[in-house]
Structures are given as structure tokens and as C-alpha cells.
Structure 1
Amino acid sequence: MDDLLFDVGGTRIKCNIWRNGQRLLTEDLQFSAISQSNKENLLAHFCEIVQQVMSYSQKTGGTVRGVAFAFPGPFNYEMGISQMQGLGKYDALYGVDLKSFFLTCLSNHGVQEVPILFENDARAFALGEYQDSTPVQRGIYLTLGTGLGSAFIQEGEFVTELSGINREGMIYDIPFRGDILDNWLSAAGLQKLAAAAGYPKVEAFVLAKAARSKEPQAQAIFGSFGELLGEALKDYCRSFRPDEMVFGGQVSRSFPLFEGRLREVLAEECPATLRVSGDLTTAALRGLYKRLEERRGVNP
């Protein structure tokens, strides 16, 4: 029995199949997201990707029993309706009933009456990391990329009532240093720090390359980012007392460049284990599988 799992990002769409609870493909299937295309092209592209993954399942003797998607927000995950607008990705899908669309896409290719589930990408990542950790009671899970994804989990459940988080249980829109956390704990935040230091405007990965090459100014910028990250997170450490704090996302690939200052700032505030996700996509897909199992009344 196969579950088809899709991690839908702004640049790439990554997919895999969980067969009887185990990852089937050693390497995830990857497709371009074409996230700035028009509605017709995007829907045709999505359906083609689903068909390809479904076809692989069927050709290898599988039977589809569930389908799940991790999407960035804003998004009505219960109804399967995109609410992204003005973000430079999937704008053309604003208000589209993707749940009905995917049901039709599957039905047209012989798969009917299977559950289709949508989850926030950061929450899917958090679930995957939480269940894969040494048993912990409380964890904070952050994806540092073009924006900030976040989730707080306590005893297997998402926390939505805690000082300093929004009603979604996230912190991206929390005010911080005259802006919001999303614009600081991200690639955009790195660029703001670089601009303040008089560094030439470059992409975050170029800045990271310079820092790894021991360029003093680039190293100092990443040190400032670690300090900034610690400053933003220390209140959550005090109030939530997490056992672990896990980082994912493209910026987290540069963790060694800002880890030292982050640990210094959090030393007395946060005795939690700090670590980087081994594989952001695999974690998100594991989280999607867990959500499908919960929907089926199973505790994986």
C-alpha cells in the first residue's frame, strides 16, 4: 500500500513514495516548481507530476491509499485552498480549490476515493524531525530560508498557545527590531546585516562561500546573524524550555558559520540540544506520512 508524498517549494517540488510505511525510492523525485507561471500551466504541471509518481507506484506493484502535500503558507490546509499572494510564488493559484483539483486528477487516472491531505511545510518538517529524534517532550523546529518557518511541539502535539507565537503556533510575523522575525531570521536578514556592514549586495550562498573562505567581513556577518538568532529565540527558550531546537532550510546549511555566537547567546537561556536537520525534504515527507497515519487512526 502506497502513500504519495509531495514537498512543494517555490523552486523545486520533491516527491517520494512510502510503501507500507517505508521509503520506496532511495532518491527523491524532483521537478521544477514553475511557481511564477499562470494558473493553467501550474495545474497541468501539478497533475503531470502526480501522474508520474502514481505511475511509478502502479508499475512497481503498489496500490495508492493516500496522498499528501506540504505547501508553504498562507494556505487553508483543511480545505486545500491556496491563499498565497504577492509572495512571488504560486500567486496564480490564489483561491484555487486544489483539493478538488487533485481528486479529479487522480480519478481521471484510475485512483478514486483516497484521502488527500495538505499540511504547512514547516509543520511537516517539524513532525518528521520530532518523531525521528531521541524521545523528547518539547521541541522547537525552525526552517531558515527565504522566510522563516516554525513550529513548537510538546508531547507530539503542536503548541498554539504560548506567549509570543501567533494563532497558527508560528513566529514569522512577530515584531522584532522594527520589522518582523520573518525578515530577520532568513536569507533576507543576512542581507540586511550585510548591507548594514557595507558589504556588497550578494545572495546568501555567495556570502556563505566567502565566509567559508575565511573572509573576515563575511565571517563577522554570519557571527552577527548567530547573535541575532539567539536574541530572537532566548525568550522562547525561557518560556517553552525545549529539549531540542532543530534547524532546517537553506540558511541552516551554513550553521557552522553562526553556531558559535548562537550558542554563546543561548548558553544560559537554553540548555536544549541544538542541531541541524540531516535532510529537510525527508523530514517533511516523514511528517506527511505521520499525518496520513493519524488520519487513518494509526499512531506511527
Structure 2
Amino acid sequence: MSNDAGIAVLEVGGSHVTAAVVVPGGWTVESVRRTPLDSKTSADRIVAQLGQAAAQLPLANGLALALPGPFDYATGVAWYRGVEKFDSLYGHDLGKSLRELLDLDRVVFVNDAEAFAVGEWTAGTLQGLSRCAGVTIGTGIGTAFLADGRVVRTGDSVPPGGELYRTTFRGKPLEDWISARAILAAYGSAPGVKEIADAARAGEARALEVLVDAFTCLAEALTPWLDRFEVTRVVLGGSISGAFDLVRDVFDFDVTVTEDTEHAAIIGTAAVGYGA
């Protein structure tokens, strides 16, 4: 790997793509450019948007992308269906398309929740911990369980695939209890979770109750897996982690909140993608 060029990273969400360069060693993040992304358009157009973002970066070391699932990260094939974003990519070999478009030999894909956790272990709140976990809370729940910085997806000590969202809680999928959709449904009417959190901080009891209930479900669903995996600390990220100051008392284990989910995910994508 050419250290001079750094590691080119795209952090991809449903409405944005962030292009950045990560310099290994000090793990500094440079040349950050965040642009809108239309995830509901055609496959060709999505590929073009990603290509335009990547073309701004030095690509001597290839390209690493953090993406939400469902996605086959090893083969680069997307399997989005019914998730209201990237549906046109279902069955599409995104790795092949980007390699051809950008004339690259190396394009690496990383699960966005795993990228976040590894970034926190590499240069954030999980540094030095042998058994830890990262949880992202937004449109859904993302999780990653780390043993000495390596993601563990198999075995009895982690949920299926290492993904807590695939479990049920009180007879329903976990995301029916804790997700943007679940919180908005429980509250009744609000433009977003941020507004509910603002109302709670302003003293509205109903808003606080809804948030405490949702995070209590997360804490109870997570605890058995933390015990099995012998986790010593959890870091929360994602848009809804901004409500942590209101709900910290529901957690009876060591939990912290990230300073910047996107920044951590960018570092983690570079670390995972290039085995650094």
C-alpha cells in the first residue's frame, strides 16, 4: 500500500455519501466531502453518484465503502429490497460496476455498523478493550461485537450474524421497539426523533417516557449478549444516540456515546478494508 496516498473511503447512507481520505498511523481523516445521494433512483444512476464521489479522491490504494445491509460484503452484491432505499440495486454486482467505472483493481465493502465499532476501537472510546461492542441506532439497529478489534459474527456468544436486529423482543422484532419508526409511532406525531428529544429536554413527560421505554427495550435485549460475549464497554452511535443524555439511566452496564458516528465509521472502513 502506498502510504502517501492514504486510504480512500466512501461512507454511504440512504440520503448522502461522504468521501474522505484516511491517513493510517495517526488515523487522521482528511478531504471530507459530503454530498446528497438519491438512493431511490435507478441502479445506473446510483453507481454514477458513487463514482462521482469517489473520483474526487486519490485512488492509488483502491476504494473502501461503508454501506448498510442487506449486502454481501465479500462479493460486492447488493440485496436491498423493501427497505425504501437502494431497491434498484437488488442483485447488482456493485463491486464490478465500481471497479469498471473507476478503473480499479481493489474495491472493498464494509458493513456500516461494523465500520463504526472498529473506528471507535481504532481511534475512539473503545481503544484498548479486548471485548467490546458498538450499536448504531437510527432507521434500524446495527451492532458489532469485537474481540481485540476483530468483528465476531459466529458462535453462541453473539446474535445471528452478530446482528441484534435479527432477534425478537417480547414477541416482536426488536426494531418494532427501538428504531426511528418505532419511536415516532409510540409518540404519535412528530417530524423526527430529534424533536421528541428536544420536547423531553423542555420538560414534556410523554416525550421522555417514549424515549426511556425504547432505550429500555434496547438495554434489556442487549444485556444477555453482552454477558455471553463478556463485553466490558458499549459505544452508541447513529442519529438516535443523540438522545443518550435523556436515557443514560436505563443502562446498567458501561456505555458511552460517540463524538461523531460518521467520523468513526470512516476510520473503521479504512481499518477493516485494508487490514490495518
Flag whether TM exceeds 0.5 (same fold).
yes
Aligned length: 268
On the 8 A contact 2:19/2:54 being kept in 1, the answer is no
SS at match of 2:30: coil
* Shift of residue 176, structure 1, vs aligned partner: 1.1
Tell me the distance in 2 between the aligned counterparts of 1:224 and 1:84: 30
On the 8 A contact 1:147/1:183 being kept in 2, the answer is no
Is 1:233 the counterpart of 2:222 in the alignment? yes
CA 1:216–1:244 in 2, change beyond 3 Å: closer, same or farther?
same
On the 8 A contact 1:211/1:219 being kept in 2, the answer is yes
CA 1:38–1:134 in 2, change beyond 3 Å: closer, same or farther?
closer
* Shift of residue 98, structure 1, vs aligned partner: 1.0
1:161 maps to which residue? 155
1:73 maps to which residue? 69
On the 8 A contact 1:7/1:13 being kept in 2, the answer is yes
CA 1:125–1:20 in 2, change beyond 3 Å: closer, same or farther?
closer
On the 8 A contact 1:16/1:23 being kept in 2, the answer is no
CA 1:118–1:169 in 2, change beyond 3 Å: closer, same or farther?
same
Alignment of 1:116-265 (within 5 A): 116-132=107-123, 133-159=126-152, 160-163=154-157, 165-166=159-160, 168-194=161-187, 199-200=188-189, 202-260=191-249, 262-263=250-251
**Structure 1 vs Structure 2: percent identity of aligned residues?**
28
Greater relative CO (CA pairs within 8 A, separation 6+): 2
On the 8 A contact 1:142/1:149 being kept in 2, the answer is yes
1:297 maps to which residue? none
* Shift of residue 220, structure 1, vs aligned partner: 1.8
Tell me the distance in 2 between the aligned counterparts of 1:277 and 1:15: 20
2:98 maps to which residue? 102
Q: Deviations over 1:177-215 (max 9, x none)?
A: 221113322112323432xxxx43542222112112111
Instruction: Select which of 7, 25, 30 maps to 2:30.
Output: 25
On the 8 A contact 1:225/1:258 being kept in 2, the answer is no
Q: Deviations over 1:27-83 (max 9, x none)?
A: x211111011122321222222222x23xx3xxxxx621210011101011111110
Tell me the distance in 1 between the aligned counterparts of 2:33 and 2:237: 20
Larger Rg: 1
1:14 maps to which residue? 18
Tell me the distance in 2 between the aligned counterparts of 1:164 and 1:155: 15
Q: Structure 2: which 5+ runs fail to align?
A: none
On the 8 A contact 1:66/1:292 being kept in 2, the answer is no
2:78 maps to which residue? 82
Tell me the distance in 2 between the aligned counterparts of 1:149 and 1:134: 20
* Shift of residue 20, structure 1, vs aligned partner: 5.3
For 2:85, the aligned partner's letter is K
1:277 maps to which residue? 258
On the 8 A contact 1:164/1:174 being kept in 2, the answer is no
On the 8 A contact 2:47/2:98 being kept in 1, the answer is no
On the 8 A contact 2:159/2:225 being kept in 1, the answer is no
For 2:146, the aligned partner's letter is I
Alignment of 1:32-51 (within 5 A): 32-51=36-55
On the 8 A contact 2:17/2:50 being kept in 1, the answer is no
After superposition, the CA RMSD in angstroms is 1.8
TM-score (normalised: structure 2)? 0.90
CA 1:202–1:20 in 2, change beyond 3 Å: closer, same or farther?
closer
* Shift of residue 239, structure 1, vs aligned partner: 1.7
Of stretches 151-160 and 88-97 in structure 1, the one that deviates more from structure 2 is 151-160
On the 8 A contact 2:65/2:108 being kept in 1, the answer is yes
* Shift of residue 93, structure 1, vs aligned partner: 0.9
Q: Deviations over 1:234-279 (max 9, x none)?
A: 212322221110100011011111112x23xx2xxx3xx2100111
Q: Structure 1: which 5+ runs fail to align?
A: 58-62, 295-299
SS at match of 2:175: helix
Tell me the distance in 1 between the aligned counterparts of 2:24 and 2:132: 28
